[in-house]
A and B are shown apart, each in its own frame.
Chain A
């Protein structure tokens, strides 16, 4: 262990430790950027049977908060008239049933499978009103005009979700979630139903065609490579500044220390 004591006493040892720590933090940070894309599609064919099964599921998993007849309680809003789209969004993103009621219900692994989700949606839709689950064609990103979608996204979505759909902060601990996991259908449903703090963009204000354009923009953007290297989380200049300081200045200081370091003693005695 003598060498380590000796090493520790070198003047640059402190800097080396700090740099190493920073490097570890940087690597750990860079490791956190998962990306999955699950395509799912289903037809909202609501049969009487679905409604019955949906009601059973509802009673079992939802009624404690939303009331026996979905009329709402002081813990949770009424679901009368919210429509199938809203149920499909909340359940398929795993937000409902909610585990605990914080500032915002987070996305998680869905509890119900696709069929059960459809049944729940059918039940709530049968209670009346509200937008339905969009068709496969309505959310097909391949037929959307991504350029138009980009314009609409910047005018209506980027203020919360950020220019590349990386998410952003709202007030009171709430946040606009990143759009990296949202399926085309969920994006459509979110726009049309306005889940949680999100406002509503109904079909007469932003037409289905324009919604498809937005979906095309979002899905293409997240699938697109970062031509300039790592995207640094696509959050803009804050990450760039951090990298500039930690990596840029960090490496330059290492180079400066190497260039100016005194050679070990024994070599100097060669003269």
Chain B
């Protein structure tokens, strides 16, 4: 910080138009601007540079600007001449490094050069400038108020009640139009959230391959696989509600709920894979603890005990899909889910299952 008090030698022609440079207590009249920046060399107002140091700073800045120039040439060269940018991942890697390094140097060279320039070669001094008053003058406000009142009177809107009221009436519903227009964004939910693609007799097919699964094939204790309804393997909308986690659990440890006695096939149990919290796939299964965990928010369900919640933010168990075996030995659903799958919603309407 330097003291600029002595430097307030304003040229006569500027005096009068421009308030003086102020330090400390400013003059009371505040207007938009203050002193113009004085040209370096005139009366010693700017910093005087040590020419030797300045020249070396100039050279450093020039080096960085040249670096930018060369990097730009390199960038264009790499882009246009070098053939190996696209086509495989190795080329993409090389391309990203070459183009990226060149681009980084382009910006960095300019940035560093400019910083050295502004720090070592610009002679502008620090000054103190008065802040202009933010609010208008009292006269201005007064005058505007008067003008506004007069205009309002002249418009007739104040005296003519009918005009005013119908105008208000006319503008009231305008805001609703955009909302009305948005109605066709989507259909009404109706009962769609209550049903999935599963129905009695639908085969369980392995997700990703689409092959149906025999109960005798899914025979390893501790086994797990994701299944979807046959015919919905490629329909993401159906998978989003119908994905099921098929588990092979030790039948002697299963705590079967009343009414669900026929829902498993010799310890093979099917739970909805859609978390009851916010709908992520609850897919993480530990065969030692028989816990199903949702990797999104770590809701944990006990697979042995009707997938009841044992930890985390989910409030309800994963719905269980009743399954059986068809005449050929393939696993099938014996009905749809008995409750809506996935996250809760207002109309869900069933007390805790």
Q: Which A residues fall within an 8 A CB radius of B? A: 148, 151-152, 155-156, 159-160, 168, 170-172, 174, 194, 196-202, 204-206, 210, 224-229, 255, 258-259, 262-263, 267-268, 270-271
Q: Does B283 contact A (CB under 8 A)?
A: yes
B118: nearest residue on chain A (CB-CB)?
Answer: A259
Query: With contacts A210-B209, A225-B89, A226-B93 known, is A197 near B217, CB below 8 A?
Result: no
**Inter-chain contact A171/B289, CB cutoff 8 Å:** yes
CA distance A210 to B213 in the complex (A): 15
Chain A residues whose C-beta falls within 8 Å of the C-beta of B49 in the assembled complex: 270
Q: Does B221 contact A (CB under 8 A)?
A: yes
Render B19-56 as a binary contact track against A, CB cut-off 8 A, 1 for contact. Answer: 00000000000000000000000001011111000000
Q: Does B220 contact A (CB under 8 A)?
A: yes
Interface centre among B1, B50, B97, B224 (most CB of A within 10 A): B224
Chain A residues whose C-beta falls within 8 Å of the C-beta of B288 in the assembled complex: 196-197
- How near does chain B come to A45, taking the closest CB pair, in angstroms? 25
Chain B residues whose C-beta falls within 8 Å of the C-beta of A262 in the assembled complex: 1
B119: nearest residue on chain A (CB-CB)?
Answer: A263
CA distance A200 to B115 in the complex (A): 62
**Inter-chain contact A171/B291, CB cutoff 8 Å:** yes
Instruction: Show 6 A/B contacts (Cβ-Cβ < 8 Å), sorted by A.
Output: A160-B295, A197-B289, A199-B287, A267-B50, A270-B48, A271-B47
Query: With contacts A152-B208, A271-B47, A271-B125 known, is A159 near B225, CB below 8 A?
Result: no
The residue that A168 contacts in the complex, of B209, B222, B295, with Cβ under 8 A, is: B295
Which 3 residue pairs are nearest across A and B when measured between Cβ atoms? Answer: A204-B217, A159-B283, A227-B92
Q: Does B130 contact A (CB under 8 A)?
A: no
Query: With contacts A171-B291, A197-B287, A227-B89 known, is A155 near B222, CB below 8 A?
Result: no
Secondary structure call for the A interface: loop
CA distance A224 to B223 in the complex (A): 31
- How near does chain B come to A88, taking the closest CB pair, in angstroms? 17
Chain B residues whose C-beta falls within 8 Å of the C-beta of A148 in the assembled complex: 208-209
The residue that B223 contacts in the complex, of A168, A172, A200, A229, with Cβ under 8 A, is: A200
CA distance A200 to B250 in the complex (A): 13
CA distance A267 to B52 in the complex (A): 13
Q: Does B171 contact A (CB under 8 A)?
A: no
Q: Does B71 contact A (CB under 8 A)?
A: no
**Inter-chain contact B222/A200, CB cutoff 8 Å:** yes
Chain A residues whose C-beta falls within 8 Å of the C-beta of B1 in the assembled complex: 262
Chain B residues whose C-beta falls within 8 Å of the C-beta of A228 in the assembled complex: 96
Render B78-97 as a binary contact track against A, CB cut-off 8 A, 1 for contact. Answer: 00000000000110110111
CA distance A170 to B292 in the complex (A): 10
**Inter-chain contact B115/A258, CB cutoff 8 Å:** yes
The residue that A202 contacts in the complex, of B2, B223, B284, with Cβ under 8 A, is: B223
CA distance A206 to B92 in the complex (A): 34
Q: Does B285 contact A (CB under 8 A)?
A: yes
Chain A residues whose C-beta falls within 8 Å of the C-beta of B222 in the assembled complex: 194, 199-200
Q: Does B128 contact A (CB under 8 A)?
A: no
Chain A residues whose C-beta falls within 8 Å of the C-beta of B293 in the assembled complex: 170-171
**Inter-chain contact A202/B220, CB cutoff 8 Å:** yes
**Inter-chain contact B48/A204, CB cutoff 8 Å:** no
Query: With contacts A197-B288, A199-B222, A204-B218 known, is A270 near B50, CB below 8 A?
Result: yes
- How near does chain B come to A177, taking the closest CB pair, in angstroms? 14
Q: Does B145 contact A (CB under 8 A)?
A: no
The residue that A227 contacts in the complex, of B46, B93, B286, B311, with Cβ under 8 A, is: B93
Residues facing A in B49-75 (CB within 8 A) are: 49-50
CA distance A168 to B296 in the complex (A): 12
**Inter-chain contact B48/A155, CB cutoff 8 Å:** no
A268: nearest residue on chain B (CB-CB)?
Answer: B2
Residues facing A in B96-151 (CB within 8 A) are: 96-97, 100, 111, 115, 118-119, 125
Chain A residues whose C-beta falls within 8 Å of the C-beta of B342 in the assembled complex: none
- How near does chain B come to A89, taking the closest CB pair, in angstroms? 14
**Inter-chain contact A200/B221, CB cutoff 8 Å:** yes
Render B297-324 as a binary contact track against A, CB cut-off 8 A, 1 for contact. Answer: 0001000000000010000000000000
CA distance A205 to B208 in the complex (A): 12
Render B219-241 as a binary contact track against A, CB cut-off 8 A, 1 for contact. Answer: 11111111000000000000000
Interface centre among B93, B111, B247, B281 (most CB of A within 10 A): B93
**Inter-chain contact A205/B217, CB cutoff 8 Å:** yes
Q: Does B207 contact A (CB under 8 A)?
A: yes
- How near does chain A come to B156, taking the closest CB pair, in angstroms? 58
**Inter-chain contact B286/A197, CB cutoff 8 Å:** yes
Chain A residues whose C-beta falls within 8 Å of the C-beta of B247 in the assembled complex: 199
Q: Does B206 contact A (CB under 8 A)?
A: yes
Chain A residues whose C-beta falls within 8 Å of the C-beta of B287 in the assembled complex: 194, 197-200
The residue that B224 contacts in the complex, of A151, A152, A199, with Cβ under 8 A, is: A199
CA distance A23 to B322 in the complex (A): 56
Chain B residues whose C-beta falls within 8 Å of the C-beta of A270 in the assembled complex: 47-50
Chain B residues whose C-beta falls within 8 Å of the C-beta of A197 in the assembled complex: 286-289
CA distance A201 to B287 in the complex (A): 11
Chain A residues whose C-beta falls within 8 Å of the C-beta of B295 in the assembled complex: 159-160, 168
The residue that A229 contacts in the complex, of B96, B125, B226, with Cβ under 8 A, is: B96
A270: nearest residue on chain B (CB-CB)?
Answer: B48
